[in-house]
Chain A
Amino acid sequence: MTEQSPFANDRDQSLGVELRAALDTADTDAFIGRLKTAVANAGAETSWDVLAAWAPRGLVAAVAAAGLIWLIDLPSAPQAPTALMASAPIQIEVAPSLPEAVVITVAVMEGR
């Protein structure tokens, strides 16, 4: 017996026959019958079945998301709507005119 090269493309026919025989049993036909029945009972899955399977989870997720959004939004919700008040123009208080002459004279005479 010589070693086969790992690069060989040939199939080992004898090994194949023996492997098939080793892995087969006499009840193959009965197994195929059971398999066909199981597949027939399982039925094909349509896209609606997939959606239906997801629906309860999707519904729960949607409710949870809505609740989360409501909670996040809660602090701002009770505030009463307020009118936008126009801010008063800032005015710098500056005397519109110079003090009168008598006020200046009295101040000088009194040494203030």
Chain B
Amino acid sequence: MPSVLQTGVEVVRTPQRPPQDERTSQVEDSELARLAATGDGDAFGILVERYGAPARRVARAILGMDEDADDAVQDGFIAAWRGIARYDPTRPFRPWLTRIVANAALDLGRKRKVRHTVAIPEHAASGTIRPDRATDHSLFRERLRLALEELPERQRIAVALFDAEGYSHAEVAEVLKVPEGTVRSYVFHARRALRRALGAFKEDAP
């Protein structure tokens, strides 16, 4: 399957976070949530370690690379911790948590009317000057962030959850409270918009 990013830019794999302690990584989310519901802060702490970074990416997909995104993640996790007793352990934990964080980010976005803007470097925006390989990738990612911010909110969330975080269509649908078909449409349109926005890099690539 061809990628949206078959643009000639060599994909650089970012180092993954080191694996968690074996003992904690083997404990199921639902079991940790059950312990957290009894007041076990350490159990919830493991869930924070496990999902803090993905939640931050989701919040950033909604609010942009802004401190507001961190505030939204914090609000979301605190709300999840306080409402952990309402979590149904028979259902997956990750979409439940993500929905809370995404809602916190959406609420914050509405309250503060945040529209994050990043000045587009001239050479990146023009697409006529090809930077050297060392800066090529950072420019590419900057362009990707900008293209992401230009997408409608729900498309941003859908593509970030599906392609970046590995959620299924059904899980994204649960987070967004829309039918699965709508999620497919969001992802399709988001990819197409990103492909168009990043097209200049393909043309520039050797």
A: which residues have CB within 8 A of B? 1-25, 28-29, 31-32, 34-36, 38-40, 42, 44-45
B43 to chain A, nearest CB (A): 11
Residues of A within 8 A of B169 (CB): 9
Q: Is the CB of A14 within 8 A of B82?
A: no
Q: Is the CB of A11 within 8 A of B162?
A: yes
Nearest to B81 among chain A residues (CB) is: A39
What are some 19 contacts across the A-B interface (CB < 8 A)?
A4-B191, A11-B163, A11-B166, A12-B191, A14-B11, A15-B159, A16-B166, A17-B13, A20-B164, A21-B12, A23-B60, A25-B65, A28-B53, A32-B49, A35-B74, A38-B74, A39-B41, A40-B45, A45-B83
- Considering residues B53, B169, B184, B187, which has the most beta carbons from chain A within 10 angstroms of its beta carbon? B53
Q: Is the CB of A38 within 8 A of B148?
A: no
The interface residues of chain A, by DSSP majority, are classed as helix
Residues of A within 8 A of B116 (CB): none
User: Complex formed: what's the CA distance from A16 to B121 in Å?
Assistant: 24
Q: Is the CB of B191 within 8 A of A15?
A: yes
Q: Is the CB of B49 within 8 A of A36?
A: yes
User: Complex formed: what's the CA distance from A15 to B156 in Å?
Assistant: 13
User: Complex formed: what's the CA distance from A108 to B3 in Å?
Assistant: 131
Q: What count of chain B residues pass the 8 Å CB interface test? A: 57
Q: Is the CB of B52 within 8 A of A32?
A: yes
Residues 68-84 of B contacting A (Cβ, < 8 Å): 70, 73-74, 77-78, 81-84
With A16-B163, A21-B14, A23-B164 as contacts: A42 and B5 at CB distance below 8 Å: no
With A6-B185, A9-B169 as contacts: A18 and B191 at CB distance below 8 Å: no
Q: Is the CB of A1 within 8 A of B202?
A: yes
Question: Is B179 interfacial (CB 8 A cutoff)?
Answer: no
Residues 84-143 of B contacting A (Cβ, < 8 Å): 84, 140-142
With A23-B57, A42-B78, A42-B82 as contacts: A2 and B144 at CB distance below 8 Å: no
A102 to chain B, nearest CB (A): 104
Q: Is the CB of A10 within 8 A of B17?
A: no
Nearest to A9 among chain B residues (CB) is: B169
Partner pick for A44 among B41, B57, B192, CB 8 A cutoff: B41
Q: Is the CB of B3 within 8 A of A44?
A: no
Q: Is the CB of A2 within 8 A of B39?
A: no
User: Complex formed: what's the CA distance from A20 to B164 in Å?
Assistant: 6
Question: Is B160 interfacial (CB 8 A cutoff)?
Answer: yes
Further pairs besides A6-B188, A39-B44, A39-B74: 9, Cβ < 8 Å: A1-B2, A7-B184, A11-B162, A12-B5, A13-B3, A20-B57, A35-B48, A36-B52, A45-B82
User: Complex formed: what's the CA distance from A50 to B116 in Å?
Assistant: 36
Binary interface profile of B, 34-47, with partner A (CB < 8 Å = 1, else 0)?
00100101001100
Partner pick for A32 among B14, B36, B53, CB 8 A cutoff: B53
